Amino acid sequence: MSVSAGTTRIVAMEGNLNSSSFDMDLRDPNNLNNHLQVQWSDVIGEPESIRSNDCIWNCSYKCYRGTKNCCYQSVTLLFAPLLAFCMGIQFACLAFQHIWCYVPCIRCLKINCSVVRDVTTIILQALCAPWIETCGHCLSRVKVRYQRISDLQEEEDLMTV
């Protein structure tokens, strides 16, 4: 938002619909819907061993494509503006929560918990560190030797039936 000559002007963060940043041809620039495979060749396929007549195959393709496109256009005409409005509200509220609630709360917790961390560090260094260093010094002289015993034979269990 910018203020100039006593008037308030809101600058769109997403860009103007007529600007070069809004591409009408590239509608999924971040590949959000790569999982959605609804082309004819992604849904229907006949193996080489069994095939329908070319006329039936062509007619089926045209019916599929026409029905899919018509239905999609109708559903988007009815629901897309309403859903876009609802999602705009939802993401605006989400951004508001993060900007004005969560991040300041986390910052406050970091500031307050740093005191607890410092006190805990002092207590642990004063009380536990000497004991742990002593145990470490005593156990540092322990030698562990690893040897593979290949000639060891298992004893037979006489109780096995």
Whole-structure pTM over 0.85, yes or no? no
CB atoms within 10 A of CB 60: 13
* Type of residue at 58: N
What is the spatial distance between Cα 28 and Cα 43, in angstroms, rounded to a whole number?
A: 21
- 79 neighbors 71 (Cβ within 8 angstroms): no
Per-residue model confidence as pLDDT tens for the chain (161 residues): 444 444 444 444 555 555 556 788 888 888 888 888 889 999 999 999 999 999 999 999 999 999 999 999 999 999 999 999 999 999 999 999 999 999 999 999 999 999 999 999 999 999 999 999 999 999 998 888 887 777 666 666 666 65
